[in-house]
Structures are given as C-alpha cells and as structure tokens.
Amino acid sequence: MTASVRTIVAVAVLLASALLLSACGDAPKEERAESGGGAAGRETASAEAPADAYKAGEPTFVTIGTGGISGVYYPAGGAIANMVNLKRDKYNIRATVEATGGSVFNINAVIAGDLQFGIAQADRQFQAVHGIAEWQERGPQKKLRAVFSLHPETVTLVAGEDTGIRDIRDLKDRRVNIGNPGSGQHQNSLDALNAAGLDLGDIQAVEVKATEAIEMLEAGTLDAFFYTVGHPSAAILKIARGKRKVRIVPIVGVDTLFVLHPYYVPSSINMHYYPGAADAGTAVESFGVKATLVTSSDVPASIVYAVTREVFENLEAFKAQQPAFAGLTKMGMLQGLSAPIHQGAARYYREAGLE
C-alpha cells in the first residue's frame, strides 16, 4: 500500500469509528492504529484475580491484536475496544487496537504477553491448542484461552478476470498470494490447494499481506490471492471497484477438506456486496471458519469479565458498528471455541445464564 493510500484508509477508518462512536455516545480517545503497546497493560496477576477487582488510580491498558487495516479484524477490534472504553469510569480500563499480521501473529503475541487479546480464526485457535500446523514444534499452547466468537469468515479467492481463472484448479502455474506467514489464510490456502489436487510447487506462490496482494493484483503483478475474511469486506469492495476487473472464484469439489479438517464448514459469499466484480451469480461457494477473540490465562479475570460483559450486555450497539457482525447471536458467540473459556468470560456466562 502506498503512503497516500494508507493515509486515506487510516483516515476513513478513523472517520467511521468516530461516526459509530458518536452513535454510541462517546469518542475513541484511546484507539490507535499501530503501536508496540500492551506492555503497560501486562499484569503479573494470575487468572485467579477476583473478577471485580477494579482499581482506582492508574488505568489498566489492554491492547487487542487485529489484522491489516483494510480487513474486518481491525474495525472488529475497534468495536470491542469501544464497548469497554465507553465504561472507563466503571472499569478504569483503556482498550486500544493494534494492526498486525493476523491470526497466527495474534495467538503468539497473546501467549507471549505482548498483547492482552487477539482476534484469531477458529481453526488457528484449534491448531494452537492441539499443537499442530504452526505450533507443531512448540506443542500445545496451554495458556491460550477463548473469550467468544465473532463473525463468520470465508476463504475468498480473488482473481483478475483477464486471467481466465474460473476454478481453484486453474491456479496451476499462476502467481498466487497464499498470505503472509502470520495470517490465518496462509494455511487455509494450502489446505484448499491440496484438496483440489495441487500443491505449492504447482503455483508461483507469493506470501504477502492482503493489502499488498490487492495492490499487486491491481498492478497486474499477481494473478490471484486468497483472503480469509468476513463479508462485506471493505478490501474486497475496493478491489471489486478497481480498474482491473476481478472475479471471486468458487472453491468447490474440495470435500476432503471437511473430512480432514473438522473446523472447516461450507460457506458462501453474497455477491450483492460486490456489484463491481465479474458476474458470478448471487453467491459464490467456498468454505470458512469463525473469527474468535482469544486471550491468555495470564490476563486477570476482572479484565476479561469486563470485555465480555460490555460486548454481550450491549450486543445490538456492538453489532451496529460492523456490517459483518449482522448475524451475531449470544448463543452463536459461544460456538467455535476450542481453547478453554477464560474464567473471567466464564463468570459472565454463568451470571447471564448462557452456559
């Protein structure tokens, strides 16, 4: 992304946040786009800290790891932060968001204590807990805790219309972005290729962030990219309206995916969201996962309780901040979690009768 495009996107995100927050009655004074933050909010208290131990005096800073600024995780993290910051007088918590490389980065940063919360795909949560995929060598990640799940995400394959790519099998010998290594889509694209009978050696694989892939596709230096993202997505809308015509390509005939990987479910993309894309009918079939919020057992229960409570008790205001949240329900937000539920969240679920 060029500096000027990045500035325009950042300004648009900030304007959207300000508009949404004025609807919620407060302003996001603590939100910031990118920082190493989080250290100030790291506490040595264990998960045994009492859930109502709110401190007077110095605020507690918590940082939520998201994804690239043009994805859905970034505004989704902002929406969570907003709900908590609206109650700063009650909890004395200041929540901020950080743009990151995505799911795998967030899980690792949360476990390391560099971030207090992170948004991560449900499949990546499962893999970290069970010590598979990126966590094969380090083994099961025992500190990882689930808080709640968020919007569904679909593995989205976008190709230049002029490439003639109409099926995932047409990616053979093409320049294809499979995602940066810290992203959720990195493994999803490999799984999709394998299920379609292709492997990495069959394509010219590129491993850049989604924002960069969009620029490369527009510039003609990439034929297609994978992006596991919620819909509607501002990034997909942008490229669908861009100067190079694009097509969202179905990922079908990949049934072994669902046999080999229990966390994948069939999913489809509503093409009404993307009127500029090549005509692909009303929906494009693919597969997907859920986005989830994760934390560490080292984060005090009082903080996780506050975050969970404010999102659940104000669910309609929360959903209004992000179009991809439209289908969220309280019960649905307890599904797709494979790590143990953090005890701060569990306390709220018990109180609310959601268990």
- The residues of the shown chain that bind ligand GLU, judged by CB under 6 A, are 67-68, 71-73, 102-103, 121, 153, 183-185, 228-230
Residues 339 and 129 sit within 8 Å (Cβ to Cβ): yes
Closer to ligand GLU by Cβ: residue 54 or 263: 263
DSSP bridge partners of 113: none
Structure tokens at 49: 């800290």
Strands 204-206 and 175-177: parallel
Closer to ligand GLU by Cβ: residue 120 or 311: 120
Closer to ligand GLU by Cβ: residue 98 or 153: 153
Question: Residue 125 in 3-state DSSP?
Answer: helix
Q: How far apart are CA 61 and CA 223, in angstroms?
A: 42
Residues 127 and 297 sit within 8 Å (Cβ to Cβ): no
Minimum CB–partner distance for residue 173 and ligand GLU (Å): 26
Amino acid at 31: E
Minimum CB–partner distance for residue 185 and ligand GLU (Å): 6
Minimum CB–partner distance for residue 328 and ligand GLU (Å): 15
Minimum CB–partner distance for residue 32 and ligand GLU (Å): 17
- From start to end of the chain, where are the E strands? 60-65, 93-98, 117-121, 144-160, 175-177, 204-206, 224-229, 246-249, 265-270, 283-296
Q: How close are the terminal C-alpha atoms of the chain, in Å? A: 44
Closer to ligand GLU by Cβ: residue 122 or 303: 122
Minimum CB–partner distance for residue 87 and ligand GLU (Å): 26
Closer to ligand GLU by Cβ: residue 42 or 215: 215
Residues 99 and 73 sit within 8 Å (Cβ to Cβ): no
Minimum CB–partner distance for residue 67 and ligand GLU (Å): 3
Minimum CB–partner distance for residue 132 and ligand GLU (Å): 16
Q: How far apart are CA 189 and CA 345, in angstroms?
A: 32
Residues 186 and 137 sit within 8 Å (Cβ to Cβ): no
Closer to ligand GLU by Cβ: residue 73 or 348: 73
Amino acid at 261: H
Closer to ligand GLU by Cβ: residue 228 or 267: 228
Q: How far apart are CA 260 and CA 275, in angstroms?
A: 34
